[in-house]
Structure 1
Amino acid sequence: MTSKQFTSVWLREPRKATSPGRSRAEIVKAAIELLDEEGRDGLSMRKLGAKLSAGATSLYWYVANKDELLELAYDEIWGEMRLPDHEEVGWREAASVLAYSMRHTMLRHPWTADLIGRLPALGPNALQMSDQMRKMFEKAGFTGLDVDFANAALTAYVFGMTIPEIAWNTSASGQEYDADKMREAVAKAAAQFPDLLARMDMQRYEDPQTLRAMAFDFGLVSMLDGLERRLAT
């Protein structure tokens, strides 16, 4: 059985522009605009070529395939995330700001949810963020593998809370559910679970974004409390 060869756009030097006014940076910028408008399935070399008034074939000078283009676009998104100087604000405040920044960045670019775990994050922006996070948790007092585990706990929390939110937003795109009918449907579905139904505030379904933001804040504070407790013990 032959193993699949690992490839990445970051494993080779970028090719120089072949014509004035066109560069890899310009292509990536246009790709992100197209991804934001139409999602991952809406991105194609043909559509990107049309957006840039260039033939799709000419784009292959810069990227070997669509996956390489997605790698480049994905790394740009990591560059949008904010991690303040933990030396100035402390590790917990820095981690909190980063978590909110990651969530908001993903919500601005919902197609990123399809790439997490599927494409390698080997670009300069992603690696720089990873290095800064490592230093942040080391400064907090974590040592050895706990540095990596704390890092993974923070990112997994953000991904775990945000990806389902993106999935819901995407599936409900362009649709507005009738609040009264939704309340009726939930009440009917939970009719055999009166204790659970009593815990539900049906008015919250009229403002799900606020409820999600509150849930994210609650979970983030609890997760950071847990990390801080590990340091204390």
Structure 2
Amino acid sequence: MPADEKPIASVWTRPRRGREQLSREQIVAEAVQLLDTDGLESLSMRKLGTRLDAGATSLYRHVANKDELIELVVDEVYGELEIPATDTADAADWRTLAARSAYSLRAMILRHPWVASVLGQVGLIHLGPNVTKMSERMAAVYKAAGFPSDETGHAMKTVISYVIGMATSEAAYLSLIARSGKSEREFIESLRSGGGEDPQVEDPGKARDETFDYGLRRVLDGLQVRLDEIPGDAAE
């Protein structure tokens, strides 16, 4: 790096401040609660400061701006993911490991619907510890499966893209139901014009799970076809 060129500032490389009444962990925890309750459009340093009974100036001692705050909260919820280590099962069972990772990512997005809309702006310069760790674990699943090194990331991103797309749509649907004040079953029944039994009405949560699972299995089927095409020494 040239002597006159300054490194790009990042919340992950900035030294933490010493003991203060308000900590970065408190700020992040409260921000996640605010986002879960009111959505991304409600997030502001001023509103967050009010919830913490602190001025915005106190927050800026720990977080330079809203973009840095988003990096922190995304990394926080990424820590909820349960990504199995590749040494916990035979590599031949990669589909099970990939599916478990996908289910965990979907569950996290449904708990925090706002996260899907900000994933694209996180980690462009520096990755937080949870995002780094979980991304490496997910990539290891596809590497152990036998994908060549130049395809590992593509395989992982293909599955992640499916999960984010499905979970984002699902979260928007559930938010609409929540605003209606009805249960999911009541909401579906109110849209039906005919009678008769409908599994989607009887157990709508199960129906959503089955829809997600069907698509995930077909995506993994496609990746398995690609794996079967790869020569045995190509993944070395």
TM above 0.5: yes
- 1:135, CA displacement in angstroms? 2.0
- 1:119, CA displacement in angstroms? 3.2
How many corresponding residue pairs? Answer: 213
Query: Is this contact kept in 1: 2:139–2:153, CA < 8 A?
Result: yes
Report the Cα distance in structure 2 between the residues aligned to 1:70 and 1:43, rounded to whole angstroms.
9
Query: Is this contact kept in 2: 1:77–1:105, CA < 8 A?
Result: yes
Question: How big is the alpha-carbon RMSD for the aligned residues of Structure 1 and Structure 2?
Answer: 2.4
Q: Which moves more between the two structures, 114-123 or 143-152?
A: 114-123
Report the Cα distance in structure 2 between the residues aligned to 1:163 and 1:71, rounded to whole angstroms.
19
Q: Which amino acid aligns with 1:140?
A: A
Query: Is this contact kept in 2: 1:137–1:151, CA < 8 A?
Result: yes
- 1:179, CA displacement in angstroms? 4.2
Q: Which amino acid aligns with 1:56?
A: A
- 1:45, CA displacement in angstroms? 1.5
* Corresponding residue of 1:9: 10
Flag structure 1 segments of 5+ consecutive residues without an equivalent: 1-5, 188-200
* Corresponding residue of 1:104: 107
Report the Cα distance in structure 2 between the residues aligned to 1:170 and 1:118, rounded to whole angstroms.
23
- 1:17, CA displacement in angstroms? 4.1
Q: Which moves more between the two structures, 156-165 or 123-132?
A: 123-132
Report the Cα distance in structure 2 between the residues aligned to 1:213 and 1:160, rounded to whole angstroms.
14
* Corresponding residue of 2:232: none
* Corresponding residue of 1:193: none
Equivalent residue of 1:84, what SS?
Answer: coil
- 1:134, CA displacement in angstroms? 2.0
Report the Cα distance in structure 1 between the residues aligned to 2:29 and 2:15, rounded to whole angstroms.
16
Equivalent residue of 2:53, what SS?
Answer: coil
- 1:103, CA displacement in angstroms? 0.5
Q: Which moves more between the two structures, 28-37 or 44-53?
A: 44-53
Please, which of 144, 150, 165 is the counterpart of residue 170 of structure 2? Answer: 165
* Corresponding residue of 1:156: 161
* Corresponding residue of 1:144: 149
- 1:89, CA displacement in angstroms? 2.1
Report the Cα distance in structure 2 between the residues aligned to 1:94 and 1:203, rounded to whole angstroms.
29
* Corresponding residue of 1:216: 212
Query: Is this contact kept in 2: 1:15–1:61, CA < 8 A?
Result: no
Residue 117 of structure 2 corresponds to residue 114 of structure 1: yes
Length-normalised TM-score, structure 2: 0.81
Report the Cα distance in structure 1 between the residues aligned to 2:44 and 2:16, rounded to whole angstroms.
20
Length-normalised TM-score, structure 1: 0.82
* Corresponding residue of 2:45: 45
* Corresponding residue of 2:84: 84
Query: Is this contact kept in 1: 2:199–2:207, CA < 8 A?
Result: no
Q: Which amino acid aligns with 2:10?
A: V
Identity of aligned residues (%): 41
Query: Is this contact kept in 2: 1:86–1:93, CA < 8 A?
Result: no
- Relative contact order (alpha carbons < 8 A, sep ≥ 6): 1 or 2 greater? 2
Q: What's the CA shift string for 1:115-169, capped at 9, x where partnerless?
A: 1223336211111112122222111111032111111111011111111111122
Structure 1 residues 16 and 157, CA gap change in structure 2 (3 angstroms): same
- 1:80, CA displacement in angstroms? 0.7
Please, which of 170, 192, 206 is the counterpart of residue 183 of structure 1? Answer: 192
